[in-house]
Amino acid sequence: SAVISQKPSRDICQRGTSLTIQCQVDSQVTMMFWYRQQPGQSLTLIATANQGSEATYESGFVIDKFPISRPNLTFSTLTVSNMSPEDSSIYLCSVVKAKNEQFFGPGTRLTVL
């Protein structure tokens, strides 16, 4: 498996501000992803965090709104920019280990007022 930590675990933010979420893994991984889970809903992939290059975004998500950094194989950040109440969600990072097994972090619960 993988030990994944996220910071912060939760936050309450004001409209128009930005929040950066950190994801740290206990070992080097090639594939790392960021997902969003809106209240009571399923998980939706935001982007693939690529080490050393720009993230690959899914349809409906753009770099200006969700800039991602991946400086090395154990760490990534997701920024939620210019937040609105619609951004209130749980944000999760995940990593892929051997045999395609994908493990998730504990999530960051974001509330935008």
Q: Are strands 19-25 and 75-80 parallel, antiparallel or unpaired?
A: antiparallel
- Contact between 102 and other proteins per CB under 8 A: yes
In the region spanning residues 10 to 49, those forming contacts with other proteins, defined by CB under 8 A, are 31, 33, 41-45, 48
- Contact between 1 and other proteins per CB under 8 A: yes
**Which among 12, 4, 22, 38 is positioned nearest to 77, based on CA atoms?**
22
- Contact between 106 and other proteins per CB under 8 A: yes
In this complex, which beta carbon is closest to other proteins, that of residue 12 or of residue 16?
A: 12
Give CA–CA dist 35/80, Å, rounded.
12
Other residues' Cβ atoms within 10 Å of the Cβ of residue 94: 21
Site string for other proteins, 59-88 (x = CB under 8 A): ------------------------------
